[in-house]
């Protein structure tokens, strides 16, 4: 048997908030979720926030001695003793950081004997002769029962030692993360247009490849290779997210290839969008925001700052001429809310018209 899924779920943002509280009150957390949902990434991000060090231990690959330590005969004492486990933090190493995160991944994929050793570690903060340093925070993760992964039932006393959460995929959270991490704009644009394509995991499907937050990140990395030919690209994308998603995404990429360069829009060289394919406008606004952010990082708050406002003004003019109201709202809202770009009205001749047209909609969408 395996763990029964909870009915209450949390988004990545909600889970991060809960993890921060758990850190402060020193309570271990167990995270359940489908493959590729980002469980380990969330723990890693919270660890980084605290300037900590992450020990990522895959319990599904462990033996009990990996936690307890390897037994050996001490000829001096005449007793069996345990060599300390190398994969767990020592007092000396832990002292170098404000805190250490011990992440027990694949918790419910571990054999019962390994879970038993983990139980001692979580319950007593020690196993065998090994003792966890005081600044170590314990977190764990595993798949849900209906994911059809290799799982064992976690003992109820062990589950009761954790704060238990089930993570769900949330597009808004992923979108914010994707922009912050400069995921390829074609991936961002395609998924913004077709939000349901972010995740199509089906435990009953026989397909080895399926779309998840993780596999779309793989696609973003693949798209960064400028030397790959179209046929190979199709095979690679299919291997990450499945053939159905790959066919639709590659059609999107084909249309996106006809888009003007964002730098030409910022410079005012291009004022007209010839393609009217609605899906690719989502890619274009991502490219424009990336370009505006890059330019602001280079010239912002310097003597060349006015150049950025000229570029921003060109973008507003282009958007009003070529984008639907919905896309205009998304463009400016993302620029201001996600990238914190300073659209100063008195320095932008197009701002008044833009605001009169969509300003109230932007304010409503962020309130």
In eight-state DSSP terms, residue 198 is G
Report pTM. Answer: 0.86
Average pLDDT estimate for 262-268: 97
Average pLDDT estimate for 334-348: 92
Number of C-beta neighbours around residue 304 at 10 A: 11
Distance CA 164, CA 236 (A): 36
Average pLDDT estimate for 106-124: 86
Distance CA 345, CA 354 (A): 10
Tell me the sheet residues that pair with 102: 55, 138
Distance CA 345, CA 352 (A): 7
Q: Determine which helix (DSSP H) or strand (DSSP E) holds 361, and give its type and residue range.
A: helix 351-366
Nearest CA-CA partner of 190 in 202, 206, 178: 178
> Average pLDDT of the chain?
90
pLDDT (tens digit, 9 = 90+) per residue, 116-174? 888 888 888 988 788 999 999 999 999 887 666 556 677 788 888 899 999 999 999 99
pLDDT (tens digit, 9 = 90+) per residue, 39-70? 999 999 999 999 999 999 998 888 888 888 77
pLDDT of 362 strictly over 80: no
Average pLDDT estimate for 69-92: 83
Residue 365's pLDDT is: 65
Q: Give the confidence band of 218 by pLDDT, cuts at 50, 70, 90.
A: very high
Given a contact cutoff of 8 angstroms between Cβ atoms, the answer to whether 178 and 223 are in contact is no
Residue 361's pLDDT is: 80
Tokens of 144: 């849900």
pLDDT of 3 strictly over 50: no
Residue 208's pLDDT is: 87
């Amino acid at each position: 048997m395996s763990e029964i899924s909870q009915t209450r779920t949390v988004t990545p943002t909600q889970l991060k908030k809960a993890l921060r509280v758990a850190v402060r009150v020193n309570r271990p957390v167990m995270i359940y979720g489908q493959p590729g949902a980002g469980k380990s990434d969330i723990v890693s991000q919270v660890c980084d926030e605290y300037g900590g060090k992450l020990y990522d231990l895959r319990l599904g690959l462990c033996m009990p001695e990996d936690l307890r330590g390897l037994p050996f005969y001490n000829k001096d004492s005449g007793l069996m003793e345990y060599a300390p486990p190398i994969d767990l933090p020592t007092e000396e190493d832990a002292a170098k950081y404000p805190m250490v995160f011990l992440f027990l991944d694949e918790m419910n994929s571990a054999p019962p004997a390994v879970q038993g050793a983990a139980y001692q570690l979580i319950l007593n903060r020690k196993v065998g002769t090994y003792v966890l340093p005081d600044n170590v925070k314990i977190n764990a993760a595993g798949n849900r029962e209906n994911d059809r992964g290799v799982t064992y039932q976690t003992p109820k006393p062990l589950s009761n030692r954790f704060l238990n959460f089930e993570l769900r995929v949330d597009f808004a959270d992923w979108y914010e993360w994707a922009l912050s991490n400069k995921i390829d704009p074609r991936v961002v644009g395609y998924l913004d247009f077709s939000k349901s394509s972010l995740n199509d995991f089906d435990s009953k499907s026989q397909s080895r490849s399926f779309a998840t937050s993780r596999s779309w990140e793989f696609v973003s990395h693949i798209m960064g290779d400028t030397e790959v030919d179209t046929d190979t690209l199709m095979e690679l994308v299919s291997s990450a997210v499945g053939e159905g998603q790959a066919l639709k995404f590659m059609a999107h990429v084909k249309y996106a290839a006809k888009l003007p360069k964002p730098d030409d829009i910022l410079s005012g060289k291009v004022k007209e969008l010839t393609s009217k394919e609605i899906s690719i406008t989502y890619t274009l606004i991502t490219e424009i925001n990336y370009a505006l952010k890059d330019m602001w990082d280079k010239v912002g708050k310097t003597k060349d700052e006015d150049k950025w406002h000229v570029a921003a003004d060109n973008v507003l003019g282009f958007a009003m001429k070529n984008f639907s109201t919905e896309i205009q709202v998304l463009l400016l809202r993302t620029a201001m809310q996600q990238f914190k770009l300073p659209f100063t009205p008195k320095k932008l001749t197009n701002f008044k018209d833009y605001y009169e047209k969509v300003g109230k909609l932007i304010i409503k969408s962020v309130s």
